[in-house]
């Protein structure tokens, strides 16, 4: 038995053992109840060739061997009655005719019958997704390892699928290379145990970025499934405002335990944010922002911003504060790089920037950002002390549903 996910990308070698390219797809004739593989789609550099099954000498998960030299390979078109397994079946919304329901194909099972290779079933399980992205071993760490959910090909009708309904939610690549939003989409489809196992296998920074993209209803559930140590590492790598929002949704005992395990600086930031009402400016802001003193030169300010960059959420704006952390001005990154290196910050900053109090409402926050076309809004108390900033993407969270937010460019990341 073969799963297509284990075959895609394998090396195809010619009769002399030299690489002829990599397997990209399989063509199969659907004239029989179980389609027969009729050709390989092999990618050679920028070229793509349809190689007939008749020239295949050996076909294994470890690689494919051809009977002919690579120079003799010729392309042919897809013939009538043939389908491409990856291009036309994998990730498709198709019809399970026995169950009378729409399903999505996460993998395809094939088997040898003599010299032939036939399609026998589709796998619709979440475990198939893990297999495809190279995390099949994760399932072995689950209390109840995920088994394939196979639907016999005879009960599948790919002709009933809608070409416009293709949903490529999980690229066939290593999970750590996916965009955090794609990992979040994957996590939404897994069981709580599978979700925890996947995030436990991710590096902390990748996991933190993916959690920030998840729907809030899944975030707390995920943290509850993780060990205290993994949960602490994940929270420590999240933006403080996102970490505080997540902790607020946990049982108080668990939240306090995790905060106590965090580094002192991270814990202090989170505690400050949790002290504000959830829907106030103080509860929305992040405490990670770029700042410099007014006496620095532009050249010195550039060096200071470079030092801060790994720890701040955005550097489109740099805030000017004195030793008491009172806000005096702001300038953009453009202002900074166009200023003469020796010019003082106080001479090119914008004084008295638009700001809101920590107690400002969500409506006041979004109104100010929209009215003044800001990418970030400082949060300042009655004494003029800068406590944090609210970025435009956080403001978008307040006014747009999550599904619509994901359609917008991530301009601040």
Tokens linked to 322: 């004195």
Cα distances (angstroms) measured from residue 361 to each of 2, 374, 407: 57, 17, 26
Structure tokens of 208? 């933190």
- Predicted TM-score (pTM) of the model is 0.55
Taking the C-alpha atoms of residue 42 and residue 85, their distance in angstroms, rounded to an integer, is: 13
Long-range contacts of 396-404 (CB under 8 A, 24+ apart): 398/284, 398/362, 398/365, 398/366, 399/366, 402/215
Structure tokens at 347: 């001479």
Q: How many CB atoms lie within 10 A of CB 271?
A: 15
Question: Which residue reads 């470079």 in tokens?
Answer: 306
Would you tell me how many other CB atoms lie within 10 Å of the CB of residue 19?
A: 12
Q: Coil, strand, or helix at residue 125?
A: coil
Domains located in the chain, CATH noted: 2-165 (2.30.30.240), 175-275 (1.25.60.10), 291-405 (3.10.580.10)
**DSSP of 5-71:** HHHTT-EEE-TTS-EEEEEEEEEEE-SSSSPEEEEEEEEETTEEEEEEGGGEEEEETTEEEESS-GG
pLDDT by position in tens, the chain (length 413): 889 988 988 999 999 999 999 999 999 998 888 999 999 999 988 889 999 999 999 999 889 999 999 989 888 999 988 999 988 888 776 666 565 555 678 899 999 998 899 999 988 887 777 776 665 555 555 545 556 788 888 877 665 444 433 332 333 344 555 678 877 877 777 778 778 877 887 888 888 998 988 888 889 999 998 999 999 999 999 989 899 999 999 999 999 999 999 999 999 999 999 999 988 999 999 999 999 999 999 999 999 999 998 888 778 899 999 999 999 999 999 999 999 999 999 999 999 999 999 999 999 999 999 999 999 999 999 999 999 999 988 887 776 544 444 444 444 44
């Amino acid at each position: 038995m073969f799963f297509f996910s284990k075959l895609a990308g394998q090396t195809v070698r010619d009769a002399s053992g030299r690489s002829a390219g990599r397997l990209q797809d399989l063509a199969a004739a659907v004239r029989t109840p179980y389609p027969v593989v009729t050709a390989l789609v092999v990618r050679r550099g920028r070229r793509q060739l349809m190689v007939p099954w008749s020239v295949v000498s050996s076909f294994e998960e470890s690689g494919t061997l051809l009977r002919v030299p690579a120079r003799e390979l010729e392309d042919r078109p897809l013939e009538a009655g043939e389908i491409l397994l990856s291009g036309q079946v994998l990730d498709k919304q198709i019809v399970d005719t026995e169950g009378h329901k729409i399903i999505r194909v996460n993998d395809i099972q094939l088997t040898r019958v003599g010299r032939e290779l036939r399609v026998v079933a589709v796998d619709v399980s979440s475990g198939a997704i893990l297999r495809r992205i190279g995390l099949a071993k994760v399932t072995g760490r689950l209390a109840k390892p995920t088994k394939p959910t196979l639907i016999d090909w005879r009960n599948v009708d790919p002709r009933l699928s809608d070409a416009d309904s293709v949903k490529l939610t999980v690229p066939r690549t290593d999970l750590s290379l996916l965009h955090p939003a794609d990992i979040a989409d994957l996590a939404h489809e897994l069981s709580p145990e599978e979700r925890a196992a996947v995030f436990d296998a991710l590096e902390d920074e990748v996991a933190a970025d993916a959690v920030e993209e998840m729907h809030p209803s899944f975030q707390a559930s995920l943290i509850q499934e993780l060990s205290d140590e993994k949960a602490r590492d994940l929270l420590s790598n999240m933006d403080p405002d996102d970490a505080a929002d997540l902790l607020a949704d946990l049982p108080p005992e668990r939240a306090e335990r995790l905060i106590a395990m965090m580094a002192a600086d991270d814990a202090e930031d989170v505690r400050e944010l949790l002290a504000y009402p959830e829907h106030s400016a103080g509860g929305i802001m992040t405490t990670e922002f770029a700042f410099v003193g007014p006496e620095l030169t532009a050249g010195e300010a550039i060096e200071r911003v470079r030092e801060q960059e790994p720890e701040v959420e955005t550097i489109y704006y740099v805030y000017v504060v004195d030793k008491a952390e009172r806000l005096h001005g702001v300038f953009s990154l453009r202002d900074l790089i166009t200023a003469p290196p020796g010019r003082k910050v106080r001479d090119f900053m914008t004084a008295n920037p638009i700001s809101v109090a920590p107690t400002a409402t969500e409506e006041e926050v979004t109104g100010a950002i929209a009215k003044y076309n800001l990418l970030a809004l400082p949060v300042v108390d009655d004494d003029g002390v800068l406590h944090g900033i609210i970025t435009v993407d956080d403001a978008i969270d307040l006014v747009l549903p999550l599904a619509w937010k994901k359609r917008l460019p991530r301009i601040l990341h």
